[in-house]
Amino acid sequence: MGKLTLENLDIEEFIKKLEKLSDKEIISYWIEGELKEAELYKDLAKRAKELELDDRIVETFIILSKESKGHASRLWEIYRRCFKTEKIEKIDLPLIEGEPLLEKFKNAKDVLEVLSIAMESELLAEKIYNILAKRTNDEKIKRIYEYLAAVEREHYHKLRVEYEFYYKKSENCTKY
């Protein structure tokens, strides 16, 4: 598949690869993804603090990091209940919520760009979860995908509120 970026991600190809995995492997994949996302938001909070950005944005990233960890924990509970094991499967697919974003975040020029990239990632994850939910015949797995899609939508909305706040703030600064 090569190095995955948001620009070169072929969603259909990626979903086909996911669909070849067992339910156990897919849930393992998303547990890892949520943990990676939690780490990413924690790093963003740290970077925002180092750049002396508003406490508001630092707190948003901290909240999203904690929520992602919580989602990983819930998925982990589901995984243990469904598959009666503690061992998570290692999946040879890039994590869409981590790897494609790292380079973009490093090159981001301002807080609006960082928020925009994060919103794009959340919408992409939501889209993939919704597609997977529609394609599965297993009602239990479908509900898990629908839950995960809703979680990603919630993250998007939190980021969107921050984006709008900073956008208005930047507009006010340019008026003077």
How many C-beta atoms surround the C-beta of residue 99 within 10 A?
17
In a domain, 71, yes or no: yes
Cα 98–Cα 145–Cα 9 angle in degrees, nearest 5: 40
pLDDT per residue over 74-96, tens digit each?
999 989 988 888 888 888 887 77
| 97 part of a folded domain | yes
Domain of 63 in residue numbering reads as: 21-174
Q: State how many domains the chain has.
A: 1
Task: Say which range, 8-17, 38-47, 58-67, has the weakest mean pLDDT.
Answer: 8-17
pLDDT score of 6: 53
Q: What is the mean pLDDT of residues 158-164?
A: 94
CATH of residue 26's domain is 1.20.1260.10
Instruction: Tell whether 92 is covered by a domain.
Output: yes
Q: Is 111 domain-assigned?
A: yes
pTM: 0.82
Other C-beta atoms closer than 10 Å to the C-beta of 49 total 14
Is residue 4's pLDDT more than 80?
A: no
Task: Note whether 130 and 11 are within 8 A (CB).
Answer: no
Residue 155: its pLDDT value, please?
A: 92
